[in-house]
Amino acid sequence: AQTVTQSQPEMSVQEAETVTLSCTYDTSENNYYLFWYKQPPSRQMILVIRQEAYKQQNATENRFSVNFQKAAKSFSLKISDSQLGDTAMYFCAFMNVLYTGKLIFGQGTTLQVKP
């Protein structure tokens, strides 16, 4: 069974600085997707970034980038130039290509951006 672990329950960062959220996962599969979702307080969850396991190049989306280490089964999220609007719960998630649609989420990391 696949599992996703986020070992940092809470983190904080000063506005305009950089922060990295950690995620590790366990799977015996070779083809899968990894995601980072953002859930702001009292607002709906939105997709931040996605990585296909077959791609060696790390995904980037504006200020958000990932460090995907397939052998180590590690998938960290870097947020550059942090903004107050980045304050949210961040979830790392895994999806097996063979079971598309079934997202397996980590426990989440609460990120607070301080002014």
Partner 1 sequence: EAGVAQSPRYKIIEKRQSVAFWCNPISGHATLYWYQQILGQGPKLLIQFQNNGVVDDSQLPKDRFSAERLKGVDSTLKIQPAKLEDSAVYLCASSLGQIEQYFGPGTRLTVT
Residue 100 CB, nearest approach to partner 1 (Å): 4
How many other C-beta atoms can be found within 10 angstroms of the C-beta atom of residue 48?
21
- CA dist., res. 22 & res. 31, Å (int): 21
Distances (CA, A) of 98 to 61, 93, 95, 101, 105: 26, 15, 8, 9, 17
Selected binder of partner 1 within 7, 15, 46, 81 (CB under 8 A): 46
Residue 33 engages partner 1 in binding (rule: CB under 8 A)? yes
Residue 64 engages partner 1 in binding (rule: CB under 8 A)? no
- Residue 18 vs 112, nearer CB to partner 1: 112
Residue 111 CB, nearest approach to partner 1 (Å): 15
Residue 50 CB, nearest approach to partner 1 (Å): 7
Count of all residues that appear for the chain in the document: 115
CA angle 24, 37, 111 (to 5 degrees): 80
Stretch of residues binding partner 1 (CB under 8 A), selected from 14-22, 56-64, 72-80, 87-95? 87-95
Residue 99 engages partner 1 in binding (rule: CB under 8 A)? yes
Helices (H), 23-108: none
